[in-house]
């Protein structure tokens, strides 16, 4: 331990009114003791609180994850799981918007003062925004990038395509082309950043989204078309003092737009935002931010040992293996009758009787209380657990990864903690947040 601190695409939360759901290598050179910044830059996350359709789009969470991880669903027998310092002056802080405790986004600028609300995502590695060429019926409510208005724009033109969700076994595709321009966030200017201009965008998913595009924070190994991810250029251009970034997420959903929805910190961690010592755990697989969790327990029930887990700020809930989700639901007293729009609801009065959830990471226990893993929307409570596939199916990708036993630790997990992502040492740091 060291003492220093497709999408969740369109993941707005389910507001139930009368119980109805509305509608290469990143170089960490020692910078020769130079610091580029002399005061903290902060990117605040605001909390957006429109009253309509808060819950509905959670139904797209699992299709988005299946696509983001490039998972194929192969029907067949399900394989069951075994039940076994001081704040650095050079830190850049970007405020984040918290939309109903399900998605976190902040502002970036591309080219000549074209500003976009961007969802930050640790399980993808590309930056994309809607293009001015995207038809109004799909993109009218979104900010669209117009390269003719930017003096720093450089044409690329290569075709770009990314699958972000799958519905009814039919892929839903974003299409467009690559462009290069200057990208600005929290006072940093990323020169010559290649990104995608999206010209074809499925309106059935994005017409109620709270953000315009996606900013991937994953490794280059998962970047579509080999495009250099933004964090690599930030590091290469020495815009930050060390090749790390951190998330501090505000989970206090008050139902109004709030500039204190959280922070994305670029560079050294801020120890004033967490307590005690940072616990670091190495990545078990590079590409996604994947780690090995020693054990996960719900009360006295051990859910797994040596569990593989991807930490993903772009996912709202905790995604458990299908067999484990059934065990969790049984322990929480949830049945199929409690399932609405892809999530499980329960009476909020039951929270005091629910068990704590314990993750043992790096020989240290990190505990979530029921109020942490149950997401509350006014008088409606939603279980913070889901799975990629609840039926009899096998999940795999082209590299043979066993997704039947993979966990995805989304915002429900990250909420109580300060999380540091170290691109040089390929590790994640975690500490209780203040």
Residues marked active site are found at 121, 312
Distance CA 261, CA 394 (A): 37
Backbone phi and psi for residue 233, each to the nearest 5 degrees, phi listed first:
-70, -35
Distance CA 93, CA 63 (A): 31
Quick check: 85 and 91 in contact, CB under 8 A?
Answer: no
Quick check: 141 and 126 in contact, CB under 8 A?
Answer: no
> Residue 254 in 3-state DSSP?
coil
Distance CA 288, CA 282 (A): 12
Contact partners, residue 402, CB within 8 Å, separation at least 6? 79, 395, 396
Distance CA 11, CA 414 (A): 16
Contact partners, residue 113, CB within 8 Å, separation at least 6? none
Contact partners, residue 64, CB within 8 Å, separation at least 6? 6, 7, 8, 9, 164, 165
β-pairing verdict for 170-185 and 103-110:
antiparallel
């Amino acid at each position: 331990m060291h003492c220093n601190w497709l999408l969740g695409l369109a993941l707005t939360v389910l507001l139930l009114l009368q119980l109805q759901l509305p509608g290469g290598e990143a170089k960490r050179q020692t910078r020769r003791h130079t610091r580029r910044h002399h005061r903290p830059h902060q990117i605040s996350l605001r909390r957006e609180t429109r009253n309509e359709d808060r819950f509905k789009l959670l139904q797209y969470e699992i299709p988005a994850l299946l696509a983001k991880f490039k998972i194929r669903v192969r029907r067949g027998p399900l394989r069951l799981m075994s039940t076994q310092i001081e704040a650095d002056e050079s830190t850049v802080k970007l405020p984040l918007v918290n939309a109903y405790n399900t998605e976190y986004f902040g502002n970036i600028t591309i080219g000549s003062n074209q500003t976009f609300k961007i969802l930050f995502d640790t399980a993808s590695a590309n930056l994309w925004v809607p293009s001015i060429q995207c038809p109004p019926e799909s993109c009218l409510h979104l900010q669209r990038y117009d390269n003719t208005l930017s003096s720093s724009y450089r044409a690329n033109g290569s075709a770009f395509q990314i699958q972000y969700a799958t519905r009814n076994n039919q892929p839903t595709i974003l299409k467009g082309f690559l462009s290069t321009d200057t990208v600005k966030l929290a006072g940093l200017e990323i020169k010559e950043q290649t990104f995608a201009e999206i010209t074809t965008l499925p309106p059935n998913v994005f017409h109620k989204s709270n953000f315009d595009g996606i900013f991937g924070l994953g490794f280059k190994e998962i970047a579509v078309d080999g495009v250099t991810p933004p964090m690599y250029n930030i590091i290469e251009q020495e815009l930050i003092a060390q090749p790390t970034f951190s998330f501090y997420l505000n989970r206090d959903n008050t139902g109004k737009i709030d500039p204190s929805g959280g922070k994305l910190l670029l560079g050294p961690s801020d120890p004033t935002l967490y307590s005690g010592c940072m616990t670091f755990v190495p990545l078990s697989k590079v590409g996604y931010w994947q780690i090995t969790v020693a054990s996960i327990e719900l009360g006295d029930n051990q859910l797994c040992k040596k569990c593989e887990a991807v930490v993903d700020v772009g996912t709202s809930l905790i995604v458990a293996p299908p067999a484990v989700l059934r065990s969790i639901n049984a322990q929480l007293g949830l049945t199929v009758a409690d399932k609405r729009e892809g999530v499980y609801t329960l009476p909020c009065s039951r929270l005091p009787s629910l068990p704590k959830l314990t993750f043992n990471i790096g020989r240290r226990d990190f505990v979530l209380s029921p109020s942490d893993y149950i997401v509350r929307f006014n008088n409606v409570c939603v279980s913070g657990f889901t799975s990629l596939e609840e039926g009899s199916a096998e999940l795999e990708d082209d590299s043979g990864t066993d997704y039947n036993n993979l966990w995805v630790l989304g915002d429900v997990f990250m909420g109580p903690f300060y999380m540091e992502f170290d691109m040089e040492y390929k590790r994640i740091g975690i500490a209780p947040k203040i």
